[in-house]
Chains A and B, each alone.
Chain A
C-alpha cells in the first residue's frame, strides 16, 4: 500500500484559499489519489479523485504533478463549514479490492 503523509492540522480564515498537500512517494502506476472530508460525528464523504494533472469539481481542485509523488487539495474561499478532517488516500481502483487506507488526516480549522 502506498503510504501517505499529510499535515496533522491547518488553520485558515474565512474567504481564504486553503491548500493541503499530501506526500505519496511510493505511489504505484495504477494508483489513483482520492480525498475525503469528515465532519464531526459523521462518516467521511468523497470529495475528489484524480490520476494526474488537475481535476476540478464544484467543491475543490486537485493538483497532481508529473511525478505523482504528491498531490494538493485546494479549497477556494473557505467558510466556517469547511472545518473538517481531510484524508488523502492512494490506491488501485481496478484491483477488485479497494486498497485505500485512511490515515489520521489533516484537521482544518476555519476561523471568522
Chain B
C-alpha cells in the first residue's frame, strides 16, 4: 500500500522567501509528526497532530514556523521569511495511536536556503 509521501523532494529558496512543505500520511493514520534533521544530526521534533485535538507545537523553533492539517489527512508545514539556518531535511511521519505507535516516515523534503 501507499506509504507517507512528501513534496517537493527538494526545495531551493532564497533567504527571506516563504516555503510550504506538504505531507500525505498513510490513509487512516490519526497521528502525524513533523521533524527536522540537519546534516549529521538527529531528528528534531517540530509539531504533532492527533485526530481533532489541538496540535502540540512545542517543538517549533520560532513563530516563522507553522503547520496545519486539513481534514485530518494532508498536512502543510510553512516556513516564513526563511533563514539559512532553516536548511535541513524536513521529515513527516504518521502512525496509528495505540498500535505500538510505530511511526512511518516519508522520504523527506531537503530544503536549502541560499
A residues with CB within 8 A of B: 32, 34, 36, 41-46, 49, 87, 91, 93-94, 96-98, 100-105
B86-103 interface (Cβ within 8 A of A)? 91, 93, 95, 97-98, 100-103
Given contacts A44-B43, A93-B98, contact A98 B31 (CB under 8 A): yes
Q: Is B48 an interface residue when CB atoms closer than 8 A count as contact?
A: yes
Whole-angstrom distance between the alpha carbons of A36 and B31 in the complex? Answer: 18
B1-46 interface (Cβ within 8 A of A)? 4, 31, 33, 35, 41-43, 45
Are B95 and A43 closer than 8 Å at their CB atoms?
A: no
B38-68 interface (Cβ within 8 A of A)? 41-43, 45, 48, 50, 56
Additional pairs, 11, CB under 8 Å, beyond known A44-B43, A98-B101: A34-B100, A42-B105, A42-B107, A43-B4, A43-B106, A43-B107, A45-B105, A96-B97, A97-B48, A100-B103, A104-B42
For A87, the chain B residues whose CB sits under 8 A away are 42-43
- Report whether over half of chain A's contact residues are helix, strand or loop; otherwise say mixed: loop
Which residue of chain B is the closest to A36 with respect to CB atoms?
B103
For A34, the chain B residues whose CB sits under 8 A away are 100-101
Partner of A104 from B41, B91, B106 at Cβ < 8 Å: B41
Q: How large is the interface on B (under 10, 10 to 19, 20 to 34, 35 or more residues)?
A: 20 to 34
The 4 A-B pairs with the shortest beta carbon distances in the complex, nearest first, are A43-B105, A102-B43, A104-B42, A46-B102
For B98, the chain A residues whose CB sits under 8 A away are 93-94
Which residue of chain B is the closest to A43 with respect to CB atoms?
B105
20 contacts between A and B (CB under 8 A): A32-B100, A34-B100, A34-B101, A41-B108, A42-B108, A43-B93, A43-B105, A43-B106, A43-B107, A44-B43, A44-B91, A87-B42, A87-B43, A98-B31, A98-B97, A98-B101, A98-B103, A100-B101, A102-B43, A105-B42
